[in-house]
Each structure stands twice: as C-alpha cells, then as structure tokens.
Amino acid sequence: MAFEPLKGVRVLDLTSVVVGPVCTWRLSQYGAEIVKLESPEGDLMRGLGGLSPTGQHSGTYLHFNRGKRNICLDLKKADARQALDRLIASADVIVANMRPQALERLGIDSATVRARHPDKIYCLITGYGTDGPYAGQPTYDSVVQAAAGMAGLTIARDGEPRYVPMLVCDHVSGEIAAGAVLAAVLQRQANGQGCAIEIPMFETMAAFVLQEHLAQHSFDPPVGPPGDLRLLNPHNKPVKTADGWIAFTVNTDPQVRALLIATDRQHLLDDARFATVAARARNVAQWFEIRGAPLPNRTTAEWLEILRAADIAAQHCHTLETLPRDPHLQAVGLIRYEAHPTEGRTAAIRSTVRFDEAYPPLGEPARPRGLDTLAVLGELGYAADQIETLLSTGAALVPAPPTPPAAGG
C-alpha cells in the first residue's frame, strides 16, 4: 500500500524555476494533489534548464514538475483572476515564490488570502524575507550563494570565490519549505488552524554556512579564526590515482592508522603531529597535505579494494557521464526511462525516501503547459460555455495542437 500521508490535500503551486517546484514535488511524493499554475509565458525553467526536443521541457523542468497537474491562466485578465480565486478557495495549501510585491499587486499575498481564508496554509519562499533592508530584492541561487558566504568559502582553497555548480540553495530551501508545510498540515489537522510560512533563502543558507563555519568564532572572545579549517584546506579534495580520482575520508585515530598502513606510509605512524584527533586539529595544513597527496602507483579500482579492505570510507569520484552508470545506482533503480507525451523517451528519477520498504510512486511525467486547464476549471464549477469564454478571451489556455510533420519529409 502506497505511503500517502497527504492524500486528499490539494496544493496550489504558484511557483517557478527551482526552489518552489522542489518544495511542491516533495509534497507530491507524500500524496498531495499538486495543481501548478503557469502563465502564458510558462515556467522559465522549461527552456532555461537546458535543451529538449521541443524546447518546452528541459531535463530540470521534467524532474522537478512530475506528479503535478497543470493549468494555464493569464492573470492580467480579470476573468483569470476570478478563476484563481476559485483555485485558492479549493486548495488546502498555497506555495508561492514570486516576489512579495507581485503577489500583493495580484491580491494573492499571504495576508490577503488568509484574511479571506484563515484555514489556508500559505507558504512563501523568498530571496530575503519580507522585512530587513534586502526585503523584496530579486535574487537567484548564485546570488544567494555569494551573499550567504558559500561562494567565498573557496577563497581559502582556490584564491577566489566560486559557485557550487548546482542550484544548492534552491534545493535546500525548497526541501526545508516542504518540511515546514508538513508541520503546518499536522497543526491544521489538530486544531483546524491555517498558518503563514515564510522561507527566506538568504537567511536559510547563511545559517547553513555559519553552523559549520562560524567555528572558533562561536565563542566570545573567539578562540581562533572562523571556518572549519579541515574543510577549507586546499588539499581537501579528491585524490589523483593512476587512472582517475578517488575520494576517501578518515577522521578517527584507528582510521588514520589504517590509511597510513594501506598507503605504505608506516613511517608516519609514530609522528606525534598526526597521532590523535587533537594533534591533527593543531596541524591541519600538514595533515591534509599528506592525506591529499596523489596515489599514482595504482588505479582507482585497486585503491578502492585496498581502502575498503581497511574499512576506510572510499568511493569513486564520478563525473556527470559516469554517475548514472554507477553499479549501486543501477542496482537500486534510481533512474528509469519512460515515454513522455511530447519529448519521447525521458529519464525519471524516483524519490530516494523509502517507507515500509517501498518508494513513493513516481507520478505522471511533467505536463505540457495548460494540459489540465479544462479539467481543473470544470472541477471549480465552470460550465462548458463559461470555459469556452475563458479560452476565447485568452484568460485560460490549453496546449496548442502538435505541429504535423512536413510533407515529403
């Protein structure tokens, strides 16, 4: 039996790009019905996330928008805003990541919605919150990485700041938002009360960075420089082998001794600088230079065998090309391929969370924009002639019919 604790909960998805869609995708994995509202221009990530056969369903868009119904309304039109009012009334949860000023102009900000519907759960994901000097400013993941100090962490290692080459702030903030919605749903079930949730990305990621790297500045007065000196060391990176790269970590004294023996560096076993956790903390730079030294005399596979035999945590350093072929990921079926209505054969990545030894259903592939417009409007009480009026005025939209192949091709 499927684990669907949110079955019967309708979520109105007023989000786009990554952070909001990550949140609502996670909620869909727990059984919530997600109704994604798109404008006629569509979610920016349909094209921004990379190439696709039609230019309308990038890989990123596909992965974060599966399991969602899709309705397309032009909120510049009054009739569309009336349809949105019905959608809001029908939902249990509203998730938005538009800028607060835009939501207020449309009359769909948290305060306005909850004044009319105090039982609604309204989750707003913002760049900088709704107060403070940065409130209301536009932002993207890379800007938050820089503002929160994440990009600056590599100054110690590389001499200049660098972005993490994935949308890590969006992922983290979206998952936190999903957890907050779950908590609010529990409260609503207990006392019938709605809730206004706010997830500011900048504060969220600044807290992540500072929890690890405030470090010696966590004390007043400080007992040393800020930063986890192990993580900031330039030698803290995958190690070169004869044919590639390998990743391993040793932290305890027995693990360190096992590494020194496995890599033929027994002469360091009695070196007082590296004999204990405290000693290695005092000699971080020297220890990481030793630990990160190349191992060119054996292949990655050979080193993995040796290190695993010594019970040392070690793995391949995969590339984007090799990761999908990892034997473990293939054995557990993380990725499978399926037919998409417009994009042909596409990859589907299942949830990594398992309940009672079963994974949540994948859900339907990400939908073409407006595919469910007619069905959702009907559920909201619109008669056939009213729906036709919405379509004829452009207030509501459905997908354009597919272009027939050229004759004689």
pLDDT tens track for 108-153: 999 999 999 999 999 999 999 999 999 999 999 999 999 999 999 9
pLDDT for residue 2: 81
> Does 188 have pLDDT greater than 80?
yes
pLDDT band at 405 (very low <50, low <70, confident <90, very high): very low
* Least confident among 107-116, 149-158, 194-203: 149-158
Distance between CA atoms of residues 403 and 53, nearest Å: 13
The encoded tokens of residue 403 equal 């272009």
d(CA 119, CA 8) in angstroms, rounded, equals 15
Tell me what pLDDT residue 149 has: 97
C-alpha–C-alpha distance, residues 145 and 19, integer Å: 14
Q: What is the pLDDT of residue 196?
A: 98
- pLDDT digit string, tens, across residues 12-31: 999 999 999 999 999 999 99
The pLDDT tens digits of the residues spanning 221-264 come to 999 999 999 999 999 999 999 999 999 999 999 999 999 999 99
Give the pTM: 0.94
Give per-residue pLDDT as tens, 208-233. Answer: 999 999 999 999 999 999 999 999 99
Instruction: Dump the DSSP string for 224-290.
Output: S-SS-TTTT-TT-SPEEBSSSEEEEE--SHHHHHHHHHHTT-GGGTT-GGGSSHHHHHHTHHHHHHH
Please report the beta strands in 136-233, taking only residues with DSSP state E, as ranges in sequence order.
195-200
Is the pLDDT reported for residue 409 higher than 60? no
pLDDT over 70, % of the chain: 98
pLDDT in tens, 348-362: 999 999 999 999 999
| Confidence band of 403 (pLDDT split at 50, 70, 90) | low
* Residue given tokens 């630990």 in the structure block: 291
Domains, the chain, in order of start with CATH, read 10-208+353-397 (3.40.50.10540), 239-316 (3.30.1540.10)
Q: How many CB atoms lie within 10 A of CB 264?
A: 9
Q: What is the mean pLDDT of the chain?
A: 95
Answer yes or no: is pLDDT of 406 > 50: no
According to DSSP, the β-strands at 245-249 and 68-73 are unpaired
Nearest to 263 by CA among 316, 217, 302: 302
